Structure 1
Amino acid sequence: MTGLPLSAYRADDQIAVKEIKARNALIVSCMHTAGYAAFTGDGLQPAQPPDNLTALPAGPWGYIGPGPANAQGFHPPRRPAPRAPDASAGYGGEAYDAARVDCDRQAAEKIGSPPPKGADLVGQLFDESTKATAQDARVLAARKDWASCMATAGFEAAVPEELPKTYEAAPEITQAELAAARADADCTTGTSRLAAVYFAVLDGYQRQLVDRNAEALTAQKEAVRAQDAKLTRLITGEGKG
């Protein structure tokens, strides 16, 4: 998804990670100012990409990549639990809790966000492009070939986005799930060429939408760039005051 035309007009996972880093740096600095010099950020959100659909490379385009299929099936990658605050460092109590709440507030105010109007437009255009893609005759034909490939492999599945639902609610990954995911990955990139067709068609629809909304999208891109630069300054210590 990150290579699609509309992705250039919204904050990506790298910016999301920078926002977490900036927030954590601001909170640590604020807590030190509040008198908690031993506070190092234990218990704060880890600076890693957010959990979203890109964490599971399966969707209406099929399943991309035999590696994830073999390792995780249809389950998203497991993330380590955040480290709990160290009670021995003097954490806890009403004063500490009040300081944390206030530092969280101050960090949020300093970070801010790009104007929501532009982000809302990008979201609407993404929805429009995916709906058009789902109804495109080229994609429908590729999905039909994908279903035939899956049936040959022993798995009845009408549409690829429904297949993960059969397995993802299970607490553990089973061999049956891994086999289905591997078949999905093979059929996605095999004779159906579903992924190639889907993303080529989606790319085309998005380019049309970008052309029709060029002025508003250019302003949104500049807002995202400005926010990215601001986060960099906050992480390096500039603009904390």
Structure 2
Amino acid sequence: MKNKTVIITGASTGIGKAIAKYFITRGSNVVMNSYNEENLKKTYIEFNSPSNATYLAGDISKQETGKKLVALALEKFNSIDVLINNAGVFSPKPFLEVKEDDLELYWNVNLKGTFFTSQAAIPYMLQQESGSIINIGTVLVEHAIDGFPATAPLTSKGAIHSLTRQLAAEFGKNNIKINTIAPGIIRSPLQSKIGIESADSLAGLHLLNRIGETNDIAEAAYYLASSNFITGETINVAGGHTIGHTI
């Protein structure tokens, strides 16, 4: 992946930040995006303002943000080899309490953000006759948990899983690979945002009896980005979350 150009949305904190660092330190050219410009700039400086990275703040649910990210990648690095659609929002809420505004939020950021940014990047991947898109879903799409009601965000994440398969079918002949990573419980700022005091208290949901680290997802993203023969797949990076349970 050295000298390959990678666009990463939601790159200022958590999983996206770990993915950005992983690619940058291995010589990839990285375009980082986040809605929060202050956090994004702080992360870039924390990475020692690397010459093989740049950043652009913007709302990923807006079509123009994806177009600007693509334009920046081409201007700065002259190619678009990988798109990692990581930006997203997630919070539990009982089904009967979900309002229209809740659905609008999750569908706009999670699904439309992934949809429109992919739509902006794929034309240039077609010109190159190669490319890789990695979407971030969740194991909860296939493995629901009573006591963690999250129908609103999960419908948007389920749509992303379906989008992955359809895009893989549509653009496989053009050597563009599209896959989804479905994380289990990962140690990140998300847990505190949704009111979980100790993420480690959820370790029992995984057969490995621990929660995941952001670097676990970064490793998987790097593998999929560099793979030449994987497409249309949903890769669970979840410590056995979907396979079984410890009693």
Fold-level match, TM-score > 0.5?
no
* TM-score normalized by the length of structure 1: 0.23
User: Which one has the largest radius of gyration?
Assistant: 1
Structure number having the greater helix percentage: 1
Structure number having the greater strand percentage: 2
* TM-score normalized by the length of structure 2: 0.23
